Amino acid sequence: MPQSTSASSGSPLSGGEGGRGGEVARLRDILQLRFTDLFASLPAHTLEPISPASPWKRLLKVAGYAGLRLVGNMLRKVRNPEALRGNVWLYVVSQNNYDALHFLRGALPDAVLVAGQSKQLGRYNRFVNRLSLRRKLLYYGQLPGVYRALRRTEGQRAARFFDLIFNAIGYYEVYRRALRHYRPRAVVFANDHNDDARALLLACQAEGVPTAYVQHATVSTSFPPLGFGLSLLEGQDALDKYRLCGPVAGRVELVGMPKADAFLARRNLAPAVRRVALACNTLDDTAAITATLDYLLTEFPNLTFTFRPHPGDARDFAFLAARHPALQFSAARQQNIFEFLTGQDALIAADTSTHLEATLLNLASVYFRFGPGGIADDYYGYVARGLVERADTLPELGAWLRRMQLSKPADLYQRAAYYNATLGTPDEGHSQQRAARLLQEWLAEVAPAVQA
Give yes or no for a contact between 206 and 18, defined as CB atoms under 8 angstroms apart.
no
Residue 41 lies in a domain: yes
Please choose, from the candidates 4, 2, 84, 9, the residue with its C-alpha nearest in 3D space to the C-alpha of residue 247.
9
Query: Is residue 409 over pLDDT 90?
Result: yes
Query: Is residue 5 over pLDDT 70?
Result: no
Query: Is residue 286 over pLDDT 50?
Result: yes
Q: What is the pLDDT at residue 334?
A: 85
Residues 34 and 72 in one domain: yes
Lowest mean pLDDT among 10-24, 192-206, 223-237, 400-414: 10-24
> Looking at residues 267-287, what average pLDDT do you find?
95
Residues 66 and 189 in one domain: yes
- pLDDT interval class at 407 (50, 70, 90): very high
pLDDT digits (tens, 9 = 90+) for 171-217: 999 999 999 999 999 999 999 999 999 999 999 999 999 999 999 98
Residue 227 lies in a domain: yes
Q: What is the pLDDT at residue 373?
A: 66
Residue 82 lies in a domain: yes
Give yes or no for a contact between 212 and 234, defined as CB atoms under 8 angstroms apart.
no
Residue 178 lies in a domain: yes
Name the region of 386 (left: φ>0; alpha: ψ -120 to 50; beta: rest): left
CA distance 281 to 277: 13
Query: Is residue 16 over pLDDT 60?
Result: no
**Sequence letter at residue 302:** N
Residues 104 and 247 in one domain: yes
Lowest mean pLDDT among 36-50, 130-144, 299-313, 413-427: 36-50
Give yes or no for a contact between 86 and 183, defined as CB atoms under 8 angstroms apart.
yes
Query: Is residue 15 over pLDDT 50?
Result: no
**Over the chain, what HEC string results?**
CCCEEECCCCCCCCCCCCHHHHHHHHHHHHCHHHHCHHHHCCCHHHHHHHCCCCHHHHHHHHHHHHHHHHHHHHHCCCCCCCCCCCCEEEECCCHHHHHHHCCHHHHCCCEEEEEECCCCCHHHHHHCEEECCCCHHHHHHHHHHHHHHHHHHHCHHHHHCHHHHHHHCCHHHHHHHHHHHHCCCEEEECCCCCHHHHHHHHHHHHHCCCEEEECCCCCCCCCCCCCCCEEEECCHHHHHHHHHHCCCCCEEEECCCHHHHHHHHHCCCCCCCCEEEEECCCCCCHHHHHHHHHHHHHHCCCCEEEEECCCCCCCCCHHHHHHCCCCEECCCCCCCHHHHHCCCCEEEECCCCHHHHHHHCCCEEEECCCCCCCCCCCCCCCCCCCCCEECCCHHHHHHHHHHHHHCCCCCHHHHHHHCCCCCCCCCCCCHHHHHHHHHHHHHHHHCCCCCC
Query: Is residue 220 over pLDDT 70?
Result: yes
Residue 387 lies in a domain: yes
CA distance 195 to 178: 17
pLDDT digits (tens, 9 = 90+) for 91-109: 999 988 998 999 999 899 9
Residues 287 and 240 in one domain: no
- pLDDT interval class at 438 (50, 70, 90): very high
Residue 451 lies in a domain: no
- pLDDT interval class at 432 (50, 70, 90): very high
Residues 114 and 223 in one domain: yes
Residues 413 and 437 in one domain: no
Number of structural domains in the chain: 2
**Sequence letter at residue 79:** R
Query: Is residue 1 over pLDDT 50?
Result: no
Q: Which residues contact 225 (CB under 8 A, 6 or more apart)?
A: 12, 13, 242, 245, 246, 247, 248, 249
Residue 452 lies in a domain: no
Residues 401 and 441 in one domain: no
Query: Rounded to two decimals, what is the model's pTM?
Result: 0.88
Residues 154 and 282 in one domain: no
pLDDT digits (tens, 9 = 90+) for 122-145: 888 889 999 999 899 899 999 999
pLDDT digits (tens, 9 = 90+) for 49-95: 899 999 999 999 999 888 877 887 777 788 888 999 999 999 999 98
Query: Is residue 161 over pLDDT 60?
Result: yes
Residue-range definition of the domain harbouring residue 168: 4-257+427-446
Residues 244 and 320 in one domain: no
- pLDDT interval class at 450 (50, 70, 90): low
Residues 296 and 178 in one domain: no
Q: What is the pLDDT at residue 189?
A: 98
Residues 409 and 431 in one domain: no
Residue 395 lies in a domain: yes
Is residue 277 classed exposed, middle or buried when 0-12, 13-18 and 19+ CB atoms within 10 A define those classes?
buried
Q: Which CATH number belongs to the domain containing residue 320 in this structure?
A: 3.40.50.2000
> Looking at residues 248-262, what average pLDDT do you find?
95
Residues 17 and 67 in one domain: yes
